[in-house]
Amino acid sequence: GENVEQHPSTLSVQEGDSAVIKCTYSDSASNYFPWYKQELGKGPQLIIDIRSNVGEKKDQRIAVTLNKTAKHFSLHITETQPEDSAVYFCAASRGSSNTGKLIFGQGTTLQVKP
């Protein structure tokens, strides 16, 4: 079945530096790739997503890139701030052909040191 691998499992950066989290997926039919941020004791919150007809998407300090040929996608956070500290999850889905069922990566704990 579909598998999503996420790396690294932990990431520590200095405030102001950039952070990059990478995910690879196995199902070539996947066409929707969201990223979620989970703060301690809370549910995941969607921060950005990308669909397979797009190679890159930006939203202020956050960007996601997608390489469908290599079956990997990445989250880029620039000018990191302490409030960016959280667990980040990537996910992949076949979209409407699979009723939106998401397959999640294992998560990356990001620590931004002030």
Applying CB under 8 A, which of residues 6, 11, 56, 81 lies at the interface with other proteins?
6
The residue among 18 and 106 lying less far from other proteins, judged by its C-beta, is: 106
Q: Cβ of residue 95: shortest distance to other proteins, in angstroms?
A: 4
Residues 53-92 that bind other proteins (CB under 8 A): 89, 91
Q: Cβ of residue 12: shortest distance to other proteins, in angstroms?
A: 17
Binding letters toward other proteins, positions 32-51, x by CB under 8 A: x-x-x----xxxxxx--x--
| Total of residues contacting other proteins (CB under 8 A) | 28
Applying CB under 8 A, which of residues 74, 107, 110, 112 lies at the interface with other proteins?
107
- 50 within 8 A of 30, measured Cβ to Cβ: no
The b/e string for 77-110 (b: 16+ C-beta within 10 A; e otherwise) is: beebeeebbbbbbbbbbbeeebeeebbebebbeb
DSSP per residue over 32-84, as a string? EEEEEEE-TTS--EEEEEEETT-SEEEETTEEEEEETTTTEEEEEE-S--GGG
Radius of gyration of the chain (CA): 14
Contact set with other proteins (CB under 8 A): 1, 4, 6, 9, 32, 34, 36, 41-46, 49, 89, 91, 93, 95-96, 99-107
